[in-house]
Amino acid sequence: MKISVLFTVLLTFFCLSLLACSSGPDQSAKQYYTWEGLEPDRWGSVWLMKRHIDPSSNISIVPVGARMRDATAIATPNAPIKRTHGRSTYENLVEAFEQTGDPVLMQIGDIINELEISPWSKSSPSVAVVERQFRELQYKYNRVDVPVECYAGFFDALYASLKGAELEDLEALASSLEPDTVCKVSKGAVAQISDKPVLEYPVHHVLNMINANKKVVFVDTREDEEFDEYRIPGAVNLKLREVNEAIAPQFADADLVISYCIKDFRGYEVALAMSRAGVKNVGIMNPFGLKGWKDTGLPVAGGKVSDEEALIKLKEIAERGV
């Protein structure tokens, strides 16, 4: 059955150049909302809705876990269209709203899939450039303080580059996605820095701690089906929406708490939320996430490999060093 959805939501608390806000909310416009977040899939989906699917709509960015009356969510666990096994929210939106005729939108879907959905595939050079520049934009604004119009500018620039056949020209692609190029905000529009950055620990540091018999707790921030498929051995599953002060005692005796997802966009968010909730010694790894872990040659559990088997291999690797 073809998916047919009318999204609705209250007007966001800020107006973006992306949203083309008027002096007052258009009550006849379709309304959408999504949660705050760092993932390219989330911001690519917001951009896709506003630029190509329904430019007249209004989109709110709300705190994680929030729901809005008379509104339909995008890219949340209960949303009609969301991330599914092997496919990003962006890709599902492209298909549901029949945008497959635009090859550039399809290319962006492939990039987002490689960035966030397919941890075992080898990163292509162009996707590596897109990821690096996306992270550079977030670094410029302490990750969590990126003005939303800058995300819109990023995907505008990516679309223009792909349409101009610059994908294979990595230098031109990188230049088009420079933070100062894609992020042109009005004076005073940049959010204030709200938190100290979460620490990044080199993987070899984490392995050294394991070898020294320190208690290292891995926190997998993904959804249940993702966790069940593949995970760092011994990891506990904790989603961002589940983080609160009540979890702090669970990690009280940990020497190091490592939060991760596939590429550590969600991993960083959960690490920050855990730190705010009182968890000590929490951070992320570099290389980032489950992708970086596997690319380093470290074992994963899931499928036919039990946590016990993978932990034995991990201990052996930690003892001899990477």
pLDDT digit string, tens, across residues 30-77? 999 999 999 999 999 999 999 999 999 999 999 999 999 999 999 999
Cβ–Cβ < 8 Å for 260, 232: yes
Confidence at 122, pLDDT banded by 50, 70, 90? confident
**The pLDDT of residue 194:** 54
**The pLDDT of residue 14:** 32
Q: pTM for the whole thing? A: 0.84
With H, G, I as helix, E, B as strand and everything else as coil, classify residue 61: strand
Q: Which of 102, 96, 93, 4 has its CA nearest to residue 49?
A: 93
Cβ–Cβ < 8 Å for 263, 291: yes
Q: Is the pLDDT of residue 217 over 60?
A: yes
Question: What value, to the nearest 5°, has the Cα angle with vertex 158 and ends 38 and 164?
Answer: 175
CB atoms within 10 A of CB 208: 15
**Cα 45 to Cα 38: distance, rounded to the nearest angstrom:** 12
**Cα 124 to Cα 167: distance, rounded to the nearest angstrom:** 11
The pLDDT of 124-140, averaged and rounded, is 94
**Cα 87 to Cα 109: distance, rounded to the nearest angstrom:** 9
Cβ–Cβ < 8 Å for 267, 293: no
Cα dihedral 311→233→300→308 (10° resolution): 40
**The pLDDT of residue 23:** 32
Confidence at 186, pLDDT banded by 50, 70, 90? low
Please state the φ and ψ torsions of residue 146, each to the nearest 5 degrees.
-70, 125
**The pLDDT of residue 166:** 61
- pLDDT tens string 261-289: 999 999 999 999 999 999 999 999 999 99
Confidence at 120, pLDDT banded by 50, 70, 90? confident
DSSP state of 251: G
Confidence at 305, pLDDT banded by 50, 70, 90? very high
**The pLDDT of residue 20:** 36
Confidence at 27, pLDDT banded by 50, 70, 90? very low
Q: Is the pLDDT of residue 158 over 50?
A: yes
**Cα 52 to Cα 62: distance, rounded to the nearest angstrom:** 22
Confidence at 11, pLDDT banded by 50, 70, 90? very low
Maximum mean pLDDT: which of 19-33, 61-75, 157-171, 185-199: 61-75
Q: Work out the mean pLDDT of the chain and round it to a whole number.
A: 87
